[in-house]
Structure 1
Amino acid sequence: MLLPVGGYKGYGLSMVVEILCSLLTGMPYGPYIPKMFEAPMNQKRYLGHFVIAMRIDCFQEKAVFMERMSKMMKELRNEPRLDKDIPIQVAGDPEKKSYEERSKNGIPLKSVEYEAFKKLSEKYGIRFE
């Protein structure tokens, strides 16, 4: 069962998620979903998913929305930190950092993976460094 987060507003948001992901999709809700780590791992969980897509331009100009979104993300990242060594992140930040790091330094491989790619490159005559 989803527990309330942040009082009555969090409770309401949790209920919306439960309704859309469970009741609307015909999947079990709350206490009727098998426990993730208590039930056997081969037992189906029957977890429902709900996806929504919206056309931003039906509400406002996309450029205005993107500008406001950027401003909000910047403000969130600049909130006071609980730990000065851990930056506040928003969705996509870790992936962006990883992309930038790997674009600069390459993708790290374990030696067994490296050897497997090396063998494949030799087999198919593909340059591999």
Structure 2
Amino acid sequence: QPTIDAGAALKGLIQPIGQYKGVGLGMAIGMLSSLLSGAAYGTQSGNMVDGAKVGMDGHFLAAIDVGAFEDPVRFRARVDEIIEEVHASRPAPGTKRLLVPGELEAELEAAYARDGIPLAAATLDGIVAAAAALGLDASGLAR
């Protein structure tokens, strides 16, 4: 059931995310991104109730030559089909649309490139003060 209680979510979160295949994939990625680098795994890195444990993160990056397995043009076309299938799916009540991973970030990046990055006044003031302390001109920063 939907909840805003982080503790309750932790007790029943895994199964709806992807059933046994999703859990297996999550475990494999978690192991590659943590155990190979000596970082924390799973709940060792914190939780939604108490927060993250700083300095315990690990990362795993992989580069795959798609052309070694499939024609890249055909692969891209199939990826696009999957994305369109997600976009065409019915969103949950109160949700405007379904997004694929990275889509929101790409939209924000385009907006920031076009309009600039929005900053809180206090943050901008801190940047201007730091620039002044270093003898740098910050007059071009929008307020």
- Superposed CA deviations along residues 98-122 of structure 1, whole A, max 9, x for unmatched, are 1222223211111122223333168
State whether residues 76 and 88 of structure 1, in contact with CA within 8 Å, keep that contact through their aligned partners in structure 2. Answer: yes
Kindly provide the CA deviation profile for residues 68-89 of structure 1, in whole angstroms up to 9, marking residues without a partner as x.
Answer: 2112102211112223652110
Structure 2 matches for 1:1-129, cutoff 5 A?
A: 3-5=14-16, 10-19=19-28, 21-22=30-31, 25=35, 33=44, 36=47, 37=49, 41=53, 51-83=61-93, 86-119=96-129, 120=131, 123-125=135-137, 127-129=139-141
Residue 79 of structure 1 aligns with an amino acid whose one-letter code is S
Structure 2 unaligned segments of length 5 or more: list them.
Answer: 1-9
Q: Give the letter aligned to residue 128 of structure 1.
A: G
> Taking structure 1 as reference, are residues 40 and 90 closer, same or farther at Cα in structure 2, changes over 3 Å only?
closer
- Which protein shows a greater Rg? 1
TM-score, normalising length: structure 2: 0.60
Aligned-residue identity in percent: 16
TM-score with structure 1 length normalisation?
0.65
Give me the CA root mean square deviation. Answer: 3.9
The 8 Å contact of residues 79 and 88 in structure 1, kept in 2 or not, is answered as yes
